[in-house]
């Protein structure tokens, strides 16, 4: 059997906004300057609220290509992390020395933030002077193509 339900609009009779909040709300797109990004032209007063200006070109184009270097700090190599690398076959243990090739891990440069606990022999293409000093102080060595100061 079909149940006759009262229309929802009858509940709102006598209420001017029918549950839509203030009178300004629930209007068409004309009250907000168009839909989406429309109305964001260069004229004054046509900016969308809370949006940055996206017109025109920004910045400059460098004449040389900027190379991003994938770097890692010496503090990454904790005793637990080195043990995990050995288990994964990404590092080799010879006596008390751990040999790690950073190019196999996807890193190009060794940086000196953090502390080094295990004895490490790190093979890397670039190395900072501070990183090399910290590894040597822990009893290890860094083999790099060229070190940057």
**CA distance linking residue 140 with residue 149, whole number of Å:** 19
Same-domain pairing of 78 and 116: yes
Q: Same domain for 20 and 50?
A: yes
Continuous segment of H or E residues that includes residue 136: helix 129-137
Residue 114 belongs to a domain: yes
Q: Is the same domain home to 75 and 139?
A: yes
- Return the structure tokens found at 62: 């460098």
Residues 50 and 80 in one domain: no
* Maximum pairwise Cα distance, the chain: 88
Domain ranges, residue 130: 71-148
Give me the half-sphere count of Cα atoms (radius 13 Å) on the Cβ side of residue 114: 13
Which residues, 6 or more positions from 121, have their beta carbon under 8 angstroms from its beta carbon?
A: 97, 98, 99, 100, 140, 141, 142, 143
- Both 38 and 89 in one domain: the answer is no
Q: Residue 10 is encoded by which pair of tokens?
A: 């009858």
Tell whether 4 is covered by a domain.
no
For position 90, which CATH number holds?
3.100.10.10
Q: What is the CA radius of gyration of the chain?
A: 32
Instruction: Return per-residue pLDDT of the chain as tens, 149 residues.
Output: 889 999 999 999 999 999 888 888 888 887 777 787 776 666 666 666 677 766 677 788 878 888 888 999 999 999 999 999 999 999 999 999 999 999 999 999 999 999 998 999 999 999 999 999 999 999 999 998 765 54
Q: Phi and psi for 90 in degrees, rounded to 5?
A: -95, -5
Q: Are residues 48 and 79 in the same domain?
A: no
Q: Are residues 53 and 95 in the same domain?
A: no
Count of structural domains within the chain: 2
**Report field, pTM of the whole predicted structure over 0.85:** no
């Amino acid at each position: 059997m079909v149940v006759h339900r009262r229309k929802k609009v009858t509940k709102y009779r006598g209420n001017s906004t029918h549950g839509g909040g203030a009178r300004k709300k629930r209007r068409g797109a004309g009250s907000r300057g168009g839909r989406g990004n429309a109305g964001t032209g260069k004229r004054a007063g046509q900016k969308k609220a809370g949006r940055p200006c996206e017109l025109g070109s920004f910045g400059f184009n460098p004449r040389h290509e900027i190379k991003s270097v994938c770097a890692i700090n010496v503090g990454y190599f904790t005793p637990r992390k080195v043990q995990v690398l050995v288990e994964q076959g990404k590092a080799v243990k010879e006596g008390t020395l751990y040999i790690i090739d950073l190019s196999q891990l996807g890193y190009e440069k060794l940086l000196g933030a953090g502390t080094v606990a295990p004895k490490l022999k790190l093979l890397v293409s670039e190395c900072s002077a501070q990183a090399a000093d910290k590894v040597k102080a822990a009893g290890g060595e860094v083999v790099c193509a060229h070190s940057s100061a």
